[in-house]
Structure 1
Amino acid sequence: MEGIYQHFRKEEYAFIDQILDITVQVENEYTPRLTDFLDPRQRFITETVIGSYETIRVEFFGGSEHSERKRALIYPDYYEPQEADFKIALFHIRYPVKFTALSHQKILGTLMSLGVKREVFGDILNEGEEWQFFLDEEMADYVSGQLEKIGKVNVMLEKIPLDDALISVEEWEEQMITTASLRLDAVLGSALNLSRQKAKQMVVSGLVKVNWKTIENPDFECEEQDVLSARGYGRLKLMLIHGRTKKNKIRLDIGFLK
């Protein structure tokens, strides 16, 4: 099991340890265990860890088949998971749509201000003026009892069935670029047509995330399938690294989230 760490970055070791601890508990107690909501990178790591155990399985669910953030149920191979095992609640946000507008940032900021960690919440869904969010079922009463305003807007939370979740599907528009290196500032600058200095400043200012984690080191080495987001510029993904050109530039396929 020691060898699993060599496939991941050092900053991911703590999460690997967390999944290993849960898996050992499942193996010893022979009973399922549930994680918080995980981003896609964390799910990949979880699958890799579980794959080394012959009698342990993992299944993911975030409230709908299109969810980006999902909970992992780690269980012994005799067990047959049910949707209810994931303990996910869905709330619809009722608010005066004629007089105000909500945003993903406002909703997330308000939820975080309740003193609850981000991992308790799943996706925030939007379709037109409608907004919903998933969260850990065990926190449903607390959140619904505490959240009365988003910003200055009076809101009411209505708990609804998971089947009534809004559908939100990501679409990526691909483009080939070249970059001098796989350093974060270099990739970001090339993809967004920014100067290297501008990209570097964004990184050190904490405005850039890689795989949903803020990275403030411009030297950070990007890898294939990494998801980058820069505040004010949206999200992009390193789809494929082709190799070097005759001028020793690295050729990449980049996906831009529509």
Structure 2
Amino acid sequence: MLKNEIYGHFHPDERQFVDRAWDWVTAAGEYHETKLTDILDPRQGYILQSLVNRHPDVIVRWEGGHAGAERRRALVAPDYRELAGEDMELKVLAITSGEQKFLALEHGDYMGAILGLGIKRSKIGDIHVLDDGCHVVVTADIADYLSLNLHQVHKVNVSTAILPLASLRAGEVKLEPLEFSVASLRLDGIAADVTRLSRSKILVPIKGGRVRVNWKVEEDPSYGLKAGDMVSIQGFGRFKVLEVGGLTKKGRYRVQIGKFV
């Protein structure tokens, strides 16, 4: 398959990952090799699955700890392999604490503490904040390191334990409801309202390639959002367009947003 044919379907910034993913697929299909990837985000997962679908002799198994996992690890293999029993080399890092303020910690606090230990994002799966702690899906090769070195999360002393993936407790996604009346469904307008930035300031991350819509880089401020779209802005978190209502008498849209907390 010609590389430019593959590239035509993806953003230029994604070419490096497309190259790597296609190498995994061709190695499985042509040389009977298997590849256990790092943990992929949904966009990377979409790209890899798309490339696997283009090769008749390749299959892929996905695992993220539970059925609704957002970030998942892939095992790419020739189609004659039986992958159901393969070890996907994932563990659960259970984080607990006896301090009362521990219960106020959020997703970003745990993420920051783990990344602060020099861990790559590709080694971390979904982070599940629970009523009594936190379960984090991690690759098995970093589990011991994290358990030995993670002692604080946002200045709160914590304890850790390594559990099998089957012990994962999936947390409930929490969304802060927001409602706006907007003149249009443009990305820059809605993102400005959610982040409480001016239109001119929200253009900086958009044009800088720091905004993703449905996990794909979107640099067009006029991009039209619709219900179901997931938007992430580096440094400002994520939100989901829950509902787009009809026009008001003044010709404005009522938009319901869920901001991830």
Cα gap change, 1:31/1:179 in structure 2, threshold over 3 Å: closer, same or farther? farther
Cα gap change, 1:181/1:235 in structure 2, threshold over 3 Å: closer, same or farther? closer
Q: CA deviation at 1:148?
A: 2.1
Tell me the equivalent position of 2:167.
164
Tell me the equivalent position of 1:114.
117
Q: Distance in 2 between matches of 1:202 and 1:62?
A: 29
Aligned AA (2:88): F
8 Å CA contact retained: 2:94, 2:162 = yes
Q: Distance in 1 between matches of 2:93 and 2:35?
A: 24
Q: Which string of whole-angstrom CA distances, capped at 9 and with x for unpartnered residues, describes residues 210-241 of structure 1?
A: 455887x564857877531245574125999x
Cα gap change, 1:99/1:181 in structure 2, threshold over 3 Å: closer, same or farther? closer
Cα gap change, 1:122/1:238 in structure 2, threshold over 3 Å: closer, same or farther? same
Q: CA deviation at 1:149?
A: 2.2
Tell me the equivalent position of 2:45.
43
Q: Is structure 2 residue 121 aligned with structure 1 residue 124?
A: no
Tell me the equivalent position of 1:61.
63
Q: Distance in 2 between matches of 1:129 and 1:113?
A: 23
Q: CA deviation at 1:79?
A: 0.8
Q: Distance in 2 between matches of 1:98 and 1:56?
A: 50
Please report the RMSD computed on the Cα atoms of aligned residues, expressed in angstroms. Answer: 3.8
Tell me the equivalent position of 1:22.
24
Q: Which string of whole-angstrom CA distances, capped at 9 and with x for unpartnered residues, describes residues 147-175 of structure 1?
A: 22223222221112322212235588899
Counterpart of 2:7 in 1: which secondary structure?
helix
Counterpart of 1:31 in 2: which secondary structure?
coil
- More moved, 47-56 vs 29-38: 29-38
Q: Distance in 1 between matches of 2:27 and 2:254?
A: 41
Q: Distance in 1 between matches of 2:217 and 2:110?
A: 20
Q: Is structure 2 residue 7 aligned with structure 1 residue 5?
A: yes
Q: CA deviation at 1:34?
A: 0.9
Counterpart of 1:86 in 2: which secondary structure?
coil
Counterpart of 1:85 in 2: which secondary structure?
coil
Q: Is structure 2 residue 200 aligned with structure 1 residue 197?
A: yes
Q: CA deviation at 1:75?
A: 0.9
8 Å CA contact retained: 2:97, 2:158 = yes
TM-score (norm 2): 0.76
Q: CA deviation at 1:36?
A: 0.8
Q: CA deviation at 1:35?
A: 0.8
Q: Which string of whole-angstrom CA distances, capped at 9 and with x for unpartnered residues, describes residues 126-155 of structure 1?
A: 122321101111111222222222232222
Q: Distance in 1 between matches of 2:165 and 2:114?
A: 20
Counterpart of 2:8 in 1: which secondary structure?
helix
Q: CA deviation at 1:123?
A: 0.8
8 Å CA contact retained: 2:128, 2:172 = no
Counterpart of 2:65 in 1: which secondary structure?
coil
Tell me the equivalent position of 2:258.
256
Q: CA deviation at 1:55?
A: 0.3
Q: Distance in 2 between matches of 1:177 and 1:56?
A: 48
TM-score (norm 1): 0.77
Q: Distance in 2 between matches of 1:83 and 1:227?
A: 33
Tell me the equivalent position of 1:138.
141
Cα gap change, 1:228/1:49 in structure 2, threshold over 3 Å: closer, same or farther? same
Tell me the equivalent position of 1:91.
93
8 Å CA contact retained: 1:91, 1:133 = yes
Tell me the equivalent position of 2:232.
229
Counterpart of 2:25 in 1: which secondary structure?
helix
Q: Unaligned stretches of 5+ in structure 2?
A: none
